[in-house]
Structure 1
Amino acid sequence: MIKVIVVDDQNLMRDGLEVILNSFSDIEVLACGENGEEALKLVGEFMPDLVLMDIRMPVMDGVTASKIIREKFPKVKILLLTTFDDEEYILNALSLGVSGYIFKDIEKEKLRQAIMDCIKGTFIMPTKVAEVLAKKVVKEEKKVEEKKLKLPLTEREAEVASMIADGFTNRQIASALYISDGTVKNYVSSIYSKLGIKDRTKLALYYRSHI
């Protein structure tokens, strides 16, 4: 049985999700909340397998709540509910290690499948969300080309450095650039060596100060 907590500031959406999820024999909704602060309390109290949470909420949004949950309860999966208008929220949440994103108008059976896949470790990303990520990558490529960074890096290394500065994880960089995780690690090691830097935070600061 998969234990779930539902968090959404809209009563109708929250109650509807609870009813739908409880209709499945292998999913149980333990509790519901209406903002990120409530999500934190509920996760600490119930220790669910997964938090199904709206990305945009008052008091504390889903991005901020996800960051804290990932730090305090790393084993808890987080599946964020979003709309196509939440581009900035989606981009801000990419580096937090959430398990994926689904649109609020998702069909009932696809919702169940997304939760099942999420629990198995599959990263959930609808096509439209992937398009947002792809557009971001294109913008970064143009930024690198237009500003012609005066750094001792190859074009690809500069591209990777730019994405790291924007909070992308190695896994997300690999997915966006269609290269392996190992290749990304090699690029990162080369960047560190050339710039005399040893961590991602310092790299981000260095990169931004040189563009």
Structure 2
Amino acid sequence: MKRITLLALAATFSTAALAAPEVYTIDANHTLPRFSYSHFGYSTQLSRFDKVSGKLVLDRQAKSGSVDVTIDTTSVDTGSSLFNQHIQSADFLDTAQYPAATFTSNKLRFEGENLVEVDGVLKLKGISKPVVLTVTSFKCMPHPMLKKDACGANATTVIKRTDFNMGKYAPNVGDDVTVTLPVEAIKE
């Protein structure tokens, strides 16, 4: 009888030790994707999107998870209202027809405890392409102000705008666009 009780107790503790996937909601106030490109070789232009939503699912013990991010492309902020309209035109983002871009992934790569890469699909202007985000920092801990668990990361990738039917003025205006995604998410 003691042996069955000990086995049951051990099974209970081992089940409790197994981590379950945790769901995090993107903090839109601290997640502002940026993009940069060469402008005729004169300078590197930097712009961002102001409206983002999504979820992250992490199972840190299994080193797996998923990412689902939606970017409101009408929220593009170049620093100039006139240029915002230009970037939203059919030549570029075509926000009248495609008001959102999405990134989805079910493939997270860890090295030890650190998330280092996210392989997914970027859908922009109705075109889906595989994209690998290189994660340059990753941290999960209790949020000191919200008193909830939170995770944050910085990730980057380079895409070609011609791959997404936005090649006007290429190559004079750079075809390579560096996308940087600082993200913070709060556990549900």
**TM-score, with length taken from structure 2:** 0.28
Greater fraction strand = 2
Greater fraction helix = 1
**TM-score, with length taken from structure 1:** 0.26
Q: Give the number of the structure with larger relative contact order, counting CA–CA contacts within 8 Å between residues 6 or more apart.
A: 2
